[in-house]
Each structure stands twice: as structure tokens, then as C-alpha cells.
Copies of this chain bind each other. A is one copy, B any other.
Amino acid sequence: MSEFARPFTRPPHPLLVEPSVRAALVEDLGRAGDLTTDLLIDPDHRAQARIMSRAQGTLSGLVCAAGAFRLMDAETEVVCGVLDGETVHADGCIATLRGRTRALLSAERVALNFIGRLSGIATATRALVAAVAGTGTRVVCTRKTTPGLRMLEKYAVRCGGGFNHRFGLDDAVLVKDNHIVAAGGLKPAVERVRSGLGHLTKLEVEVDTLRQLEEALSMGVDAILLDNMSIAELKEAVALARGRAVLEASGGITLETAREIALTGVDCISSGAITHSAPALNVALDF
């Protein structure tokens, strides 16, 4: 799949992608298949078509789209115009397809749905990345992803120049309010986690106040999520931390506020909106 993606975007391996694409095709074919196409298009009819963008954005999902056309007919040729992770212009050609017309028509909607959604996320991410350009602050995603598409949506974030947060509940610890309360305080919580955690799993703590921040820093945690802090608080947090932990600003990040937040010196700003509320990129298939 790496043939369809810009270096360093790290598209998931086909063993991971193919089941999602196959399921999406089967979801669309239903039990009776593509009635219209099967009734009207000769099985041997061949055509050329182009995946076009109707708007400017950052491409993501071509790896899925190419998979969709090839699963529908292994002989379909897919030639890229733009790679996942690159900018596509309005009316730009994303890829050229050649093959049996039936396969092109029957896979069209699924292919476009993948590109539309994932490019929407990549485009929203890229905008946020651009907003903080030069500050050294990273844009990171959250677990606020579409059920069943997390792996692909995290990939879209990378296509947009963002970085990935946890992939699930199991690849890092994130201690929040309720955990702290249940454990009887931040310190006992961190100690309890450490007594059971493997040496290759990071530990982040969510804090609301600078006092909690100090406590977390004193415990030597790997990262600290600064929840909904003001610019002033964030600045002070950076000063307090002096690089002893990764600082992640979270809550209310928008295109408008991002740069100011980044300029406080936090290491990352995390945004749920880039995955859960990004409008789809408008793409179409032209014959």
C-alpha cells in the first residue's frame, strides 16, 4: 500500500486494511449486488475514469480506494496523481483508473467514501498543523474516532502532519480525575500504576490545576495532560515543567486558538474535532 502514500505517513499493512475495505464493499453490494450495473453494463466493457477532488485538501485514503477497486476486480489499474499525505487542489486528479467498467462503477461509492472521510480528517489536521507551524508544538489526535475506523482515522491524522495519541485503552496509561479519586490521590494512583505496569508503557496524568501539575511532575510521569487551562496557566505549566514531562494541552483547541496555545511552549495540543467533526473532502469519479 506504501505505493499510494507519501513517505512517513505509514499506511497500515494491507492485512489490516483489506478487511475494512472488503466489509464496506459487501455492505454496499448487499445480497443482490449492484443491480443497476449488472443489468446494464456488459461484463467485458472497459473504461477509464479519474478520481477528482472538487476542493483543495490533504489526501488520505487512496490506499483504501485502490484496495476497493482491486478487490472488485484484481485487474483494475490504479495510477496515482497525488499520494496520501500530499495536497490535492480543487479539480485536481487524485488517480486514474483503467479496467472493467463494472468494477469501476460498483466500487465507486465505497472508494469515494473512504477518501472523502479520511481526507476530511487529514485536511482538518493539516490546517491545525499549519496554524502552529514553526512553534515546535505537535498536533495530536484522541480516541474520539468513528467506531471501527480508528486505525484508518489515526492514519489520516498522520497524513495531515499530526501525531498519534493512544490507539486504545491498552497501549498507554492515562490517569484521569475519576481514577485519581478512586485511588485516593494522584500520588497513590501513580504508584499503584507503576507497581503493575510493564517498562515499555508510558504513563500520562490529566491535571486541572498547577498544583496537580507539580504533584505529577514530582512523580516523574512521562506526560501530563493539561485540561482546559488558560493561556496564562499553560505558560506557567511550561515554566514549572522545564522539560521533565511531555506537556499536552487539551480542550477547546480551535484553528483560532491553536497558535496562541502552541506559543506557550507546550509540546502537543490534542484535538478531538479533527477526527470527529471534520467535514468530508468533496471527491468524485469522472468517466
Contacts and interface: CB of A to CB of B under 8 A. Distances in A.
A284 to B, nearest CB: 11
A106 B27 CA distance: 21
A32 B2 CA distance: 15
A196 to B, nearest CB: 5
Contacts of A28: 143, 150, 168-169
A26 interface: yes
Given A148-B20, A183-B40, A193-B36, A198 B26 contact: no
A176 B105 CA distance: 10
A40 B202 contact: no
A200 B199 contact: no
B154 A113 contact: no
Given A101-B182, A113-B144, A171-B201, A15 B10 contact: no
Question: Assembly of this chain: how many copies?
Answer: 6
A12 B36 contact: no
A251 to B, nearest CB: 11
A227 interface: no
Contacts of A33: 10, 12-13, 16, 169-170
A54 B40 CA distance: 35
B193 A40 contact: yes
Chain A interface residue bracket vs B = 35 or more
Given A41-B179, A199-B248, A167 B30 contact: yes
Given A16-B31, A27-B148, A40-B175, 4 more contacts: A15-B72, A113-B144, A147-B149, A167-B170
Interface of A: 2-3, 8, 10, 12-13, 15-16, 20-43, 45, 47, 64, 71-72, 101, 105-106, 109-110, 112-114, 116-117, 120, 138, 140, 143-151, 154, 158, 163-179, 182-183, 189, 192-193, 195-202, 204, 222-223, 246, 248, 267-268, 272-273, 276-277, 279-280, 287
